[in-house]
Amino acid sequence: MTRESLFNIVMMSLLILFPLWAWIADEPFMITLATKAVILALAGVGLNIALGLGGLVSLGHAAFFGIGGYAMGILASHAQSYSPILESPFLIEGTKSMPVIWLVAIISSGLAALAIGVLSLRTTGVYFIMITLAFGQMLFFFSISWPAYGGEDGLPIYVRNGFPGLNTLDPIQFYGICFAILAVVLFFCARLAKSPFGLALNAARQTAERVETVGISPYRLRLAAFTISGMITGLAGALFADLNRFVSPTMFSWQTSGEIMVFVILGGVARLFGPVVGAALFILLEHLLGGLSDYWHIYLGLLLLLIVLFARGGVIGTFAGKGANHD
């Protein structure tokens, strides 16, 4: 077993043991913190497919996070007010069912990623970063100026959505749902990295010319990666909205895009558990330092700087050494 897989197992155990401890010790706030970490990790895992495997530096992943969030907000708010979303030409009603909301979040953020990908993946480097940022900002301003769903003030949801057979209002049960989703997605990502698609995408990041020369279009690979990436981040957005029972334009902001990227870089780009470690560290720092100073982001920035300068593989790279993002 490699040091990295050992590290991953430890991380996974922590994600099980810490909330269990909090549950037994009756510390619901700690469970909520863990839930937040797991959801943000999921958003980062989504970005990591584009960024880590595909080398696509997207500064617009808040777009998908926000779309997932608003998918939840819109569906749940209509269910809560018993008013249909659409009456003609056919009836679409709101819902409080988590699985349905997730599905809508995944599909709508996937479609958005496909569209943004088509328009932005012809460019590379700084232009790609700027175009993805611009799309994120576009949705941000759109959400602000759309009064039907709260506009600038955001949209509160008064009840948590339901999952068959579970009490989602119980913090530990909601945590269980989020953790299970993260675990499933991580498993999928581990497979993806070794699949023919992962092999080709990873090669296209290193040398697009080679990939073309064997008859594969790098553009199509990247478009598929960007879409899958957006779907996962969108799902995280829906869960995040459910955690807070609130959606607002902040989910679309470029700061959100930046934070998702910070998780990935902190933990280790292209490492399966990179975003998980990154998001956990982020939440930990926010909790510890946020109490000391309103300007805790300065310390975060400092840490990020140190990592970028001295530990290119992020936390995982430092612990587990250089290497095998796939062996």
- Binding pattern for the stretch 195-234 against another protein, x by CB under 8 A and - elsewhere: xxxxxx-xx--xx-xxxxxxxxx--xx--x----------
At closest approach, how far in Å is the CB of 63 from another protein? 23
Report the alpha-carbon distance of residue 13 to residue 15 in Å, rounded. Answer: 5
Query: Quick one: which of 117, 126, 125, 157 has its CA closest to 248?
Result: 157
The size of the interface with another protein (CB under 8 A), counted in residues, is: 27
- Binding pattern for the stretch 130-169 against another protein, x by CB under 8 A and - elsewhere: ----------------------------------------
Q: 164, exposed or middle or buried, with CB in 10 Å at 0-12, 13-18, 19+?
A: exposed
Decide if 69 contacts 247 (C-beta within 8 A): yes
Q: 184, exposed or middle or buried, with CB in 10 Å at 0-12, 13-18, 19+?
A: exposed
φ/ψ (deg, to 5) at 24: -65, -40
At closest approach, how far in Å is the CB of 326 from another protein? 8
Residue whose CB is less far from another protein, 207 or 293: 207
Considering only residues 307-326, where is the footprint of another protein by CB under 8 A?
A: 325
- Which among 127-135, 167-175, 194-202, 247-255 is the span making contact with another protein, rule CB under 8 A? 194-202
φ/ψ (deg, to 5) at 92: -120, 120
At closest approach, how far in Å is the CB of 70 from another protein? 27
Q: Token digits for 209?
A: 């010319």
Decide if 154 contacts 246 (C-beta within 8 A): yes
- Which among 67-75, 123-131, 155-163, 187-195 is the span making contact with another protein, rule CB under 8 A? 187-195
At closest approach, how far in Å is the CB of 222 from another protein? 12
Residue whose CB is less far from another protein, 258 or 321: 321
Residue whose CB is less far from another protein, 51 or 192: 192
Widest pairwise Cα distance in the chain: 59
- 165-174's contacts with Cβ under 8 Å and 24+ in sequence apart are 168/98, 168/242, 171/23, 171/28, 171/31, 171/32, 171/35, 172/19, 172/23, 172/31, 174/35, 174/242, 174/243
Q: Is 142 helix (H, G, I), strand (E, B) or coil?
A: helix
At closest approach, how far in Å is the CB of 109 from another protein? 18
At closest approach, how far in Å is the CB of 204 from another protein? 9
Q: Is 13 helix (H, G, I), strand (E, B) or coil?
A: helix
Residue whose CB is less far from another protein, 147 or 196: 196
At closest approach, how far in Å is the CB of 316 from another protein? 16
Residue whose CB is less far from another protein, 188 or 296: 188
Residue whose CB is less far from another protein, 40 or 221: 221
- Which among 26-34, 51-59, 100-108, 186-194 is the span making contact with another protein, rule CB under 8 A? 186-194
Q: Is 156 helix (H, G, I), strand (E, B) or coil?
A: strand
At closest approach, how far in Å is the CB of 53 from another protein? 12
Residue from 192, 232, 261, 316 touching another protein (CB under 8 A): that is 192
Q: List residues binding another protein (CB under 8 A).
A: 188, 191-192, 194-200, 202-203, 206-207, 209-217, 220-221, 224, 325
